[in-house]
Chains A and B, each alone.
Chain A
């Protein structure tokens, strides 16, 4: 049977006070986290088995501390640590062990309730209230003074790498938080990825000016130990903003996604020399937003502004399956981010429409 043939949408967790912008499973647990544009983080505890006739589950906890958009969420494989990056210039490590401080009511459809006050007709929705436990203990790891758009863990989880709109790339030891290396790029850090041997990073930059010579798009390979530029790959991609980067677990491939444009191309680069190896087809219309490599080491997942998630055999450069459908046109929502669980059986997607979509892959 072809891979992912039976992939199906299991649940849509509606949560629309604002756009859902980040999502992450917590290691090998059944805990799922999502962040939104307001800086809120919610947690769902997923059941071992999803019964078709049942709904939910409802969110159980809210994590409070950020006051601006969550851009990235990621966790360690042991399920003990959750990290979040935000436009509020902070990078936080959340304490998942301590007892919640209080309980609070949240309105899952607060966005709908707000918007319907401006509608003259149509059915009015009632507020969907749920009670969640509130946790607010987190440590701001510091180091940034601008929007943090990029955050990755090294494959061995010893290093935490982040990048911001001030152009700063910061590498620190995860266990101690101590800075290992940092450097500045000329533009804003748009995305970054880390090689499995912890020796290299690929960083894409932007300065999104229109009709202005100070506009900047760049992509470069960096020596992590020295903080020095190894290779400038920009020439081939100089007219493109590249908001999605990922380094394959085998270290051989770098996936590069083009964003904010009609044709969201995915290129696969040879990590040895940065040369383009494959260009995947079809494109994500209006731009790629995120990547995730499947634990099987064979498949790459991509998502974009076309509200579609695609599964690729990245060795062959072939499309394996599409999840979801384009909602139509550039004026529709987009999928901000995706996360695979530890064994690659579940996929969660952060949907701008104000929901987390949960897919069963196997």
Chain B
């Protein structure tokens, strides 16, 4: 099947045009995810001007809302953690998130997520795309969408970077140009980035390879070849910009604040990449899938989460970047109010919590409500589409933007999705 990478008709390019566009650059420096091959100069200028960014802190496996931000102390569903007051009236948080409690005025906590996909694969897909996995349309994940609409076409750095346990839904109908660039879970570059030859030798090899690829592409215009070429281009571009991934002495100074953990380092790496202009970074944190021993699992995880997340928000704020950087804290599912007889909590999608900060979101508020045991949403239910509409609104992206999968129109969010306007300042 021929796969369309296409969006609006205006952006609807034939592969030949695509290749031509690439060749016109001469050196092939404008490549997928590292710049917007399909974007107009006007669009690029607009995104440049906006400088909207997003960091997704992905709680892989699904963090427990009842043990973090929607606690039910004294109820049979409550568990052993105790709430502590936060900086925000009416928002108590888990005792193992003391640093987050102090900066809760930067958080908008949505306690009323009511979603549809209770498993891991379908939940990961759904919470990365806002569409069900069972649909035949390959929807792009959030990072790909943000890479497309907020990416910097002149950047050497990728527009979509991810690290750690996050799932990998892919760019879907947006095409491989918006594929994620995955680095190690501690934020370091993959091994291939540490080349063993001198830069000038590498450069000569690269030029030769490009020439051969371009000649080959003239007579073999098949998508796999093109994807391969794009991947190589990414690697070369990355070589040029790889210093951005080197935290150097900075990390030594910051690791006590962020926590000397993979996730802590990942959050600091995300900050640095955002500073460098990368519009979307996803940092995964393992593993919240606590069907057994939920409480010790969450306690251990929160002791890593709390310093990393809070330091990230503080640093974004101090750099004046929080207003334009949306930080999303979520996973694929919530966890059951009922505590099972393995001291665990299972998957739950009827009433769970995510948190947003920055990006024009008004901090210090709680959206939605659940009942006394956390079993049902009692106020302001939020669907996947509503959440994504909110995220896209925060980033200046039209959540009802129409794209095409082949001849079929598709939209960034499902019909009926509405941004949570109350969250915006």
- A-side residues, CB < 8 A to B, are 18, 37, 68-69, 87, 111, 114, 147, 165, 206-214, 260, 286, 305, 330-334, 352-353
Neighbouring A residues of B293 by C-beta, 8 Å: 208, 260
Neighbouring A residues of B342 by C-beta, 8 Å: 286, 305, 330-331
Is the pair A68, B341 in contact by a Cβ cutoff of 8 Å? no
Once A68-B82, A330-B342, A352-B341 are accepted as A-B contacts, the answer to whether A210 and B297 lie under 8 Å apart by CB is: yes
Neighbouring A residues of B299 by C-beta, 8 Å: 165
Is the pair B286, A210 in contact by a Cβ cutoff of 8 Å? yes
Is the pair B76, A111 in contact by a Cβ cutoff of 8 Å? yes
Q: Which 4 A-B pairs have the closest CB atoms?
A: A210-B287, A211-B286, A208-B296, A87-B80
Once A37-B80, A111-B76, A214-B261 are accepted as A-B contacts, the answer to whether A209 and B300 lie under 8 Å apart by CB is: yes
A206→B303 CA distance, assembly (Å):
14
CB distance from B260 to the nearest CB of A (A): 8
A213→B269 CA distance, assembly (Å):
18
Q: Which of B269-304 contact A (CB under 8 A)?
A: 286-287, 289, 292-293, 296-297, 299-301, 304
**Chain A residue nearest in CB terms to B301:** A209
A291→B184 CA distance, assembly (Å):
43
Once A87-B80, A208-B293 are accepted as A-B contacts, the answer to whether A331 and B341 lie under 8 Å apart by CB is: yes
Report which of B165, B296, B300, B341 forms a contact with A334, defined as CB distance below 8 A: B341
**Chain B residue nearest in CB terms to A259:** B293
CB distance from B251 to the nearest CB of A (A): 16
Given contacts A147-B80, A331-B341, 20 further A-B contacts (CB under 8 A): A68-B82, A206-B296, A208-B293, A208-B297, A209-B286, A209-B301, A209-B304, A210-B286, A211-B287, A212-B261, A212-B286, A212-B304, A214-B261, A260-B293, A286-B342, A305-B342, A331-B340, A333-B341, A334-B341, A352-B341
Report which of A18, A207, A212, A331 forms a contact with B262, defined as CB distance below 8 A: A212
CB distance from B244 to the nearest CB of A (A): 24
Neighbouring B residues of A352 by C-beta, 8 Å: 341
CB distance from B84 to the nearest CB of A (A): 13
Q: Which of B289-345 contact A (CB under 8 A)?
A: 289, 292-293, 296-297, 299-301, 304, 340-342
Tally chain B residues at the interface, Cβ within 8 Å: 20
Neighbouring A residues of B297 by C-beta, 8 Å: 208-210
CB distance from B414 to the nearest CB of A (A): 31
CB distance from A35 to the nearest CB of B (A): 13
Pick 18 A–B contacts, CB within 8 A, sort by A.
Answer: A18-B76, A68-B80, A114-B76, A207-B300, A208-B293, A208-B297, A208-B300, A209-B300, A210-B297, A211-B165, A212-B304, A213-B261, A260-B292, A286-B342, A330-B292, A330-B342, A332-B341, A352-B341
Residue of B165, B292, B299, B341 with highest tally of chain A CB at under 10 A? B341
CB distance from A213 to the nearest CB of B (A): 7
Residue of B286, B289, B300 with highest tally of chain A CB at under 10 A? B300
Neighbouring A residues of B165 by C-beta, 8 Å: 211
Neighbouring B residues of A286 by C-beta, 8 Å: 342
Neighbouring A residues of B341 by C-beta, 8 Å: 331-334, 352-353
Neighbouring A residues of B286 by C-beta, 8 Å: 209-212
Neighbouring B residues of A147 by C-beta, 8 Å: 80
Neighbouring A residues of B301 by C-beta, 8 Å: 209
A210→B261 CA distance, assembly (Å):
13
CB distance from A292 to the nearest CB of B (A): 22
Binary flags per residue of B336-375, CB closer than 8 Å to A gives 1, else 0: 0000111000000000000000000000000000000000
CB distance from A301 to the nearest CB of B (A): 22
CB distance from A110 to the nearest CB of B (A): 9
A235→B301 CA distance, assembly (Å):
25
A206→B304 CA distance, assembly (Å):
15
Neighbouring B residues of A330 by C-beta, 8 Å: 292, 342
Neighbouring B residues of A213 by C-beta, 8 Å: 261-262
A286→B343 CA distance, assembly (Å):
12
CB distance from B202 to the nearest CB of A (A): 32
**Chain B residue nearest in CB terms to A114:** B76
A182→B76 CA distance, assembly (Å):
36
Residue of B286, B292, B296 with highest tally of chain A CB at under 10 A? B296
Report which of B287, B292, B304 forms a contact with A214, defined as CB distance below 8 A: B304
CB distance from B158 to the nearest CB of A (A): 24
CB distance from A176 to the nearest CB of B (A): 31
Neighbouring A residues of B296 by C-beta, 8 Å: 206, 208
Neighbouring B residues of A207 by C-beta, 8 Å: 300
**Chain A residue nearest in CB terms to B82:** A68
A334→B165 CA distance, assembly (Å):
32
Neighbouring B residues of A211 by C-beta, 8 Å: 165, 286-287
CB distance from A158 to the nearest CB of B (A): 32
Binary flags per residue of B78-111, CB closer than 8 Å to A gives 1, else 0: 0010100000000000000000000000000000
**Chain A residue nearest in CB terms to B288:** A210
Neighbouring A residues of B340 by C-beta, 8 Å: 331
CB distance from B338 to the nearest CB of A (A): 9
A352→B340 CA distance, assembly (Å):
11
Residue of A147, A206, A212 with highest tally of chain B CB at under 10 A? A212
